[in-house]
């Protein structure tokens, strides 16, 4: 049974008490300190606008080790051809808005509510959240955002308005993260898109143990 968190002072239960689908708790708040505490423990918010805040920590966890990223021949050609240009933190707000509007093949496309957008923008303004952008002829056409703590990047959402744009941004950002010492990228839950890029499942226990060593 998921725990109920008080809005004023949420206290997360042990992640091993999560349900089979990873639901750990509901309620609480999206304040800066709450979100940072959640991520350090491997917990993330995921809910629809008409629902209470739901907190997840699934088992197994879908992750990418930066050194294991797979770049297909076609993507290598696209990167070499310089179809897109890459940037980091150039348009965080634009990335979030596009992720919010994206049509999803898996799950709802509207889970990024006003509340979520406000909370992650606050994380960005404090230097915890970051975006990676793909541009085509000066137009933002793809990218992703997430939370960076220590040597772990927690991916939240991505979008592409042009074929291969999100893959391009992801690959380039993973290269940048690895160059800066990041050892683990959290993809949260399975998608074929991320699997094609090298993401894999690990047990929740191993994931949370890694967080303790990689986030100081």
Asked if residue 210 belongs to a domain, the reply is no
Q: Domain containing 125 — which CATH number?
A: 3.40.630.70
Q: Do 127 and 20 sit in the same domain of this protein?
A: no
The pLDDT score that the predictor gives to residue 1 is 79
The pLDDT score that the predictor gives to residue 8 is 87
Beta bridge partners of 201: 62
The pLDDT score that the predictor gives to residue 108 is 44
Query: What is the average pLDDT across 160-178?
Result: 97
The pLDDT score that the predictor gives to residue 104 is 55
Q: Do 178 and 111 sit in the same domain of this protein?
A: yes
Helix (H/G/I), strand (E/B), else coil: 19: coil
Q: Do 107 and 131 sit in the same domain of this protein?
A: yes
User: Which residue segment(s) compose the domain that 155 sits in?
Assistant: 62-202
For the stretch 170-199, pLDDT in tens is 999 999 999 999 999 999 999 999 999 999
Distance CA 168, CA 177 (A): 14
Q: Do 84 and 95 sit in the same domain of this protein?
A: yes
Q: Do 162 and 145 sit in the same domain of this protein?
A: yes
The pLDDT score that the predictor gives to residue 110 is 56
For the stretch 37-77, pLDDT in tens is 999 999 999 998 889 999 999 999 999 999 999 999 999 99
Phi and psi based region of residue 189 (left: phi greater than 0; alpha: psi -120 to 50; beta: remaining): beta
Nearest to 113 by CA among 192, 57, 164, 53: 53
Asked if residue 214 belongs to a domain, the reply is no
For the stretch 82-141, pLDDT in tens is 999 999 999 999 999 999 998 655 554 458 999 999 999 999 999 999 999 999 999 999
Asked if residue 207 belongs to a domain, the reply is no
Q: Write out the H or E segment, with its range, that includes residue 159.
A: strand 152-160
pLDDT confidence band for 216 (50 / 70 / 90): confident
Q: Do 46 and 137 sit in the same domain of this protein?
A: no
Nearest to 165 by CA among 193, 190, 140, 130: 140
Q: Do 126 and 191 sit in the same domain of this protein?
A: yes
Nearest to 188 by CA among 42, 24, 51: 42
Asked if residue 116 belongs to a domain, the reply is yes
The pLDDT score that the predictor gives to residue 9 is 84
Q: Do 33 and 127 sit in the same domain of this protein?
A: no
Q: What is the mean pLDDT of the chain?
A: 94
Contact 36, 149 (CB under 8 A): yes
Q: Domain containing 13 — which CATH number?
A: 3.30.70.3550
Domains identified in the chain, total number: 2
Total-model pTM: 0.95
Last-in-domain residue among 60, 92, 109: 60
Query: What is the average pLDDT across 201-211?
Result: 98
């Amino acid at each position: 049974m998921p725990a109920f968190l008080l809005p004023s002072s949420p206290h997360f239960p042990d992640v091993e008490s999560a349900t089979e689908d990873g639901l750990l708790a509901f309620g609480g708040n999206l304040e800066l300190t709450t979100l940072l505490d959640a991520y350090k423990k491997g917990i993330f918010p995921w809910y629809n606008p008409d629902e209470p805040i739901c907190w997840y920590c699934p088992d197994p966890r879908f992750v990418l080790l930066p050194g294991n990223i797979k770049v297909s021949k076609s993507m290598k050609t696209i990167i070499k051809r310089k179809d897109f240009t890459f940037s980091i933190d150039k348009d965080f707000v634009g990335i979030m808005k596009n992720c919010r509007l994206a049509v999803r093949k898996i799950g709802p496309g509207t889970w990024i509510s006003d509340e979520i957008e406000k909370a992650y923008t606050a994380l960005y303004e404090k230097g915890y959240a970051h975006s990676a952008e793909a541009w085509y002829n000066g137009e933002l056409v793809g990218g992703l955002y997430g939370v960076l703590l220590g040597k772990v990047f927690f991916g939240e959402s991505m979008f592409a308005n042009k074929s291969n744009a999100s893959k391009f941004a992801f690959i380039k950002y993973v290269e940048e993260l690895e160059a800066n010492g990041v050892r683990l990228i959290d993809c949260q839950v399975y998608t074929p898109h991320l699997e094609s890029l090298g993401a894999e499942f690990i047990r929740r226990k191993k994931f949370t143990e890694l967080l303790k060593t990689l986030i100081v």
